[in-house]
Amino acid sequence: MHYLYLLVAIIFETVGTSFLQASHQFTRLFPSIGAVIGFAGALYFMGLTLKYMLVGVVYAIWSGLGIILIATIGFVWFKQTVDLPAIIGFAFIIAGIVIIQLFSDTVVR
């Protein structure tokens, strides 16, 4: 169940960040409200996850996957491009999450 909480937290964080971009520095009401709700939901579900997992592991997965998802949304929705070094960096983030999940004794399985 804790991975479901973490997944929901990541989704809320990604939605909140997308609304943050769309809010144009909080000058648009509805995207601004969406950003606040998104981040509030992310923190709530992250808090639930912390009952079962270590904060460092939760934050690494939450922020890492959030980065990948928001970069993808930025590319698709906001027409933002990334260069080769950024793509390589994203690959390292994914590799780090995989290494934690497969080899770390601090992960609850």
pLDDT means per 10 residues, the chain with 109 residues, are 95 96 95 98 97 92 94 93 94 93 80
Please give the model's pTM, rounded to 2 decimal places: 0.87
Q: In 3D, which of 29, 11, 4, 2 has the Cα closest to residue 72?
A: 11
Q: Whose structure tokens read 């990541």? A: 10
What is the amino acid identity at position 7? L
Give, in order, the Cα–Cα distances in Å from 72 to each of 14, 60, 67, 77. Answer: 10, 18, 9, 8
